[in-house]
Amino acid sequence: MADHELDVVGIGNAIVDVIARADDATIAEHGLPKGAMTLIDADQAHDLYNAMGPAQESSGGSVANTMAGLASLGGRGAFIGKVRNDQLGGIFRHDLRATGIAFDSPSAEQGPPTARCLVFVTPDAQRTMATFLGISTALAPEDLDTDLIQRAKITYLEGYLWDAPPAKEAFVRAAKAAHDAGKRVALSLSDPFCVERHRSSFRELVEGHVDILFANEHEITSLYEVDTFDEALQHVRGHCEVAALTRSEKGSLVLSGDEVHVVDAEPISELVDTTGAGDMYAAGFLHGFTQGYSLYDCGRAGAVSAAEVVTHVGARPQTPLHKLVAREHEDRHRHHG
């Protein structure tokens, strides 16, 4: 990859999903709130994993998913995140590289193991998640490849990084490095609980340090502590260069200065698993942005990418997204006039 050819560098938690079927009793027995994501420590992770039935592993993590989507769209990306030199760390690296994303952060030789998210799928198709962040939260400023960041058009960060002090410091340092090189910083607010934990910091970030903001309706209303989507958008307007606010089947709204775009959701045949929808929207949008698409077309690329990932189990695309986006774009312009 030539020095000038990097579209997006993503910085986030490197997590492997460990997925198994479970009954409601198992979930209740371990005190997990059904349908939600709980953070757990090493001991809990150990006990829960022992209680889990036969499982399947697949690489995950919000920003890492987005990077996998970017690669599927034909974008050139790299990932920075922290894994241990253990088996899950090997799985994470293999899977992300296999999508075409560069991942050259060295594996830690000591410290907690690679992060994992234990996913319990109940017979009603709900997902109950328990995440042990392990070494991923040890990401620190010295783990940043500043050269990589400064070569990328966009540095994409997840709000989850804010949960650990060293990762938070790395976040701030990365954003500064990107801006120093005249490049853009994008942020996903990650989830409403994360916003709850870091509200005032996130507001400050959105005010002055983020160029492209991704948030869903729950996150943006939580950020500004308002009841309606409309109130939230009045708050966010003008505070960052671009805000892309997603609303599931209600589509998304893209704001930039005085510009406003209404982007419909892409119709889907069957909703199977919403995991990764926000991650893929960000992938489509960021890819479009780095390719010079109009903001509306960025939103459409996001909508089409998200629509693919919700029609199957798993948070990474199973159909090459670049084909789907190209087809939608052609269809739209063929009907024109």
User: Is residue 83 within 8 Å of 116, Cβ to Cβ?
Assistant: no
d(CA 99, CA 88): 17
**Helix H or strand E encompassing 205:** helix 199-208
Shortest Å, Cβ 260 to its own copies: 5
Exposed/middle/buried for residue 278 (C-beta within 10 Å: 0-12, 13-18, 19+): buried
Nearer to its own copies, 228 or 318 (CB): 228
Tracing tokens 């084909």 back to the chain, one arrives at 323
Residues from 62 through 91 that contact its own copies (CB under 8 A): none
- Quick one: how far is CA 200 from the chain centroid? 21
Find the shortest distance in angstroms from Cβ 57 to its own copies.
40
130-140 as b/e, with b when 16 or more CB fall inside 10 Å?
bbbbbbbbbbb
Please answer whether residues 66 and 286 qualify as being in contact, where contact means their C-beta atoms are separated by less than 8 angstroms: yes
Residue (139 or 215) nearer to its own copies, CB? 215
Does 268 sit near its own copies (CB under 8 A)? no
User: Does 229 contact its own copies by CB under 8 A?
Assistant: yes
The site string for its own copies over 293-332 (x = CB under 8 A, - otherwise) reads: ---x-----------------------------------x
Residue 258 binds its own copies (CB under 8 A): yes
Shortest separation between residue 248's beta carbon and its own copies, angstroms: 12
Residue 223 contacts its own copies per CB under 8 A? no
Closest distance of CB 296 from its own copies, Å: 5
Out of 199, 261, 312, 322, name the contact with its own copies by CB under 8 A. 261
Of 41 and 264, nearer to its own copies (C-beta) is: 264
Distance of alpha carbon 146 from alpha carbon 99, whole angstroms: 23
Among 205, 263, 277, 303, which residue interacts with its own copies (rule: CB under 8 A)?
263
Strand extents, DSSP E, 164-222: 184-188, 212-216
Cβ partners under 8 Å of residue 331, min gap 6: none
From the CB of 194, what's the least distance to its own copies, in Å? 21
Whole-Å CA distances, 205 to 12, 61, 75, 169, 188: 16, 21, 26, 13, 11
Please report whether residue 267 would count as binding its own copies according to CB under 8 A: no
Site for its own copies in 232-251 (CB under 8 A): 233-234, 237, 250-251
Chain residues that interact with its own copies, rule: CB under 8 A? 225, 227-231, 233-234, 237, 250-251, 253, 258, 260-264, 296, 332, 335-337
